[in-house]
A and B are shown apart, each in its own frame.
Chain A
Amino acid sequence: MSSLLYDAQGPRAKRRNVALTVVFIAALAALLWWMYGTLQDKQQLEWAKWKPFFGGTEAWTTYILPGLENTLKAAALAMVIALPLGAVLGIARMSDHAWIRVPVGVVVEFFRAIPVLILMIFGLALYSEYTNVSTDDRPLYAVVTGLVLYNAAVLAEIVRAGILALPKGQSEAAMAIGLRKGQTMRTILLPQAVTTMLPAIVSQVVVIVKDTALGGGVLTFADLIAAVSPMSSYYGANTIASFTVVALIFIAINFALTTFASWLEQRLRRAKKSTGAVLKADDAAVAGTAGAGAGGV
């Protein structure tokens, strides 16, 4: 589409493009120069500040890797718990019985409407007041609880959309050969829908990884983000260096997942022509009315 919005360029348009490019480069350069000057003034660019990360392994083994481990642990736990829960909720929401469908619908919409952080704060207080989970474990529990409650609701919508995207004939044929509703769902609909939903599920993992950062930023969860402040006080106020390294790790993980999701989507789109549409990796905003959707946190 993009190339259809403008014609092949003549001499005037080419000149204008060159001028725009020059102005744009100048603006970017000015911004970079200002950043460089300020960082230089604040002594943030000295090798001493970056050395812990690129000149040895100590910073990695003491701060970054344990933080990363916690981040990934929380994300993995949340995913493993939320996925089956989401599947059950998604299927229950399509039930023929109103007394199952309606309450589940209310629960799903409720948890999609509430910020993950609110759920995490609730979790933290819940575990400290009503359980004897040790103080060290509480932040992890709270982060996982928040992520599970929110993402189970979002995954429920993904599952529902995936099943609804299958052609109607699939379940009709299953009924015609005498399968019961449960059998139809288990043996016919779900297996096909899983491939359809894969890209959307992978990009939901990105949202989960991004959301774990809330635990370090606002609660007291010892994740990758939380490693920034002890690092910068230990290595002599190298805030920018520590922050950059942590941000790059987050971006690298998520970028890999996003790329995988869109590769998967393209591959499935090419491979499968028979059953329903492939759910787009980009939006988990599927099917619902007031979707949580594209933003995540």
Chain B
Amino acid sequence: MFDFLADYDLLGAFWVTVQLTLLSAVGSLIWGTLLAAMRVGPVPLMRGFGTVYVNTVRNTPLTVIILFTSLGLFQTFNVTMGSDIIDTTNFRLAVLGLVAYTSAFVCEALRSGINTVPIGQAEAARAIGLNFTQVLTLVILPQAFRSVVGPLANVLIALTKNTTVAAAIGVAEAALLMKEMIENEAQLILISAVFAFGFVCLTLPTGLIMGWVGKKVAVKR
């Protein structure tokens, strides 16, 4: 019953999903933090840019963004992400699209985290003469990060599921393999169960582990 599964590289496809998730997670954490810093910073132009970016990207379907990286960035602007192999280019473009999208949500999560830090802390930090960058990086952000582990876990789980959209530009991840297998084999329920199980294995533990970490590191107030 399960023997046809051996004909397909199931683990390979899920490994691509995991890679997409991890790379995009790191990227969007960095870009999202920068965006959050821009949005609370003293330079009006950067604040404006951050606001416009977040509000636009949040309201754009991820499918549109991912397709744009291929139709727009690759085919029109010739952005190859430093690779001659089309599969590698598509993979990296997908990561770029996922980072662009997810960072908007990371930014919003972080901003709500910044709001949980008592105002007195920022006032005290300013009173001892720290400038904006120091206030943000030494006092506010470390506490903000600890209070938004939960929301960030939700973003990470959503990201894991969103990597399936990369199928739209032909990245060989789980959803694309599932589509191919369903077309070739007459085992709909079994195949679906396998992929559903795969994603449950990826997302449920993330939520549990991050929930535990969140409780552990949260600043008790």
Residues of A within 8 A of B (CB): 1-2, 4-7, 9, 13, 17, 20-21, 24-25, 28, 35, 38-39, 42, 44, 109-110, 113-118, 121-122, 125-126, 129, 206, 209-214, 216-218, 225, 228, 239-240, 243, 246-247, 250-251, 254-255, 258, 282-283, 285, 289-297
A236 CB to closest chain B CB, in angstroms? 14
Q: What residue in chain A is nearest B152 (Cβ atoms)?
A: A294
CB of B161 within 8 A of CB of A115, answer yes
Residues 177-212 of chain B, each 1 if its beta carbon lies under 8 Å from chain A, else 0 = 011001000101000100110011001101110010
B135 in complex: contacting residue of A6, A39, A114, A225, CB < 8 Å: A6
CA distance A140 to B102 in the complex (A): 27
CA distance A47 to B82 in the complex (A): 33
CB of A294 within 8 A of CB of B60, answer no
A211 CB to closest chain B CB, in angstroms? 7
The prevalent SS among residues of A at the interface is: helix
CA distance A113 to B207 in the complex (A): 10
CB of A289 within 8 A of CB of B211, answer yes
CA distance A24 to B42 in the complex (A): 13
4 extra A-B contacts, CB within 8 A, seeds A115-B199, A228-B71: A1-B119, A13-B131, A24-B49, A213-B61
CB of B175 within 8 A of CB of A218, answer yes
Residues of B within 8 A of A (CB): 39-47, 49, 55-56, 58-64, 66-68, 71-72, 75-78, 102, 105, 108-109, 112, 114-115, 119, 122-123, 126, 131-132, 135-136, 140, 151, 153-155, 157-159, 161-162, 164-165, 167-168, 174-175, 178-179, 182, 186, 188, 192, 195-196, 199-200, 203-204, 206-208, 211
CB of B45 within 8 A of CB of A285, answer no
B contact residues around A212 at 8 Å (CB)? 61
A234 CB to closest chain B CB, in angstroms? 16
A contact residues around B72 at 8 Å (CB)? 239-240, 243
CB of A206 within 8 A of CB of B59, answer yes
CB of B56 within 8 A of CB of A21, answer no
Q: What residue in chain A is nearest B186 (Cβ atoms)?
A: A129
B154 in complex: contacting residue of A118, A250, A255, A294, CB < 8 Å: A294
A6 in complex: contacting residue of B42, B64, B200, CB < 8 Å: B42
CB of B179 within 8 A of CB of A297, answer no
Question: Known contacts A13-B42, A115-B161, A293-B157: does B123 contact A4 (CB below 8 Å)?
Answer: yes
A87 CB to closest chain B CB, in angstroms? 22
B63 CB to closest chain A CB, in angstroms? 4
B155 in complex: contacting residue of A113, A211, A290, A294, CB < 8 Å: A294
CB of A283 within 8 A of CB of B151, answer yes
CB of A295 within 8 A of CB of B39, answer no
Q: What residue in chain B is nearest A284 (Cβ atoms)?
A: B154
CB of A1 within 8 A of CB of B115, answer yes
CB of B164 within 8 A of CB of A38, answer no
A20 CB to closest chain B CB, in angstroms? 5
B20 CB to closest chain A CB, in angstroms? 12
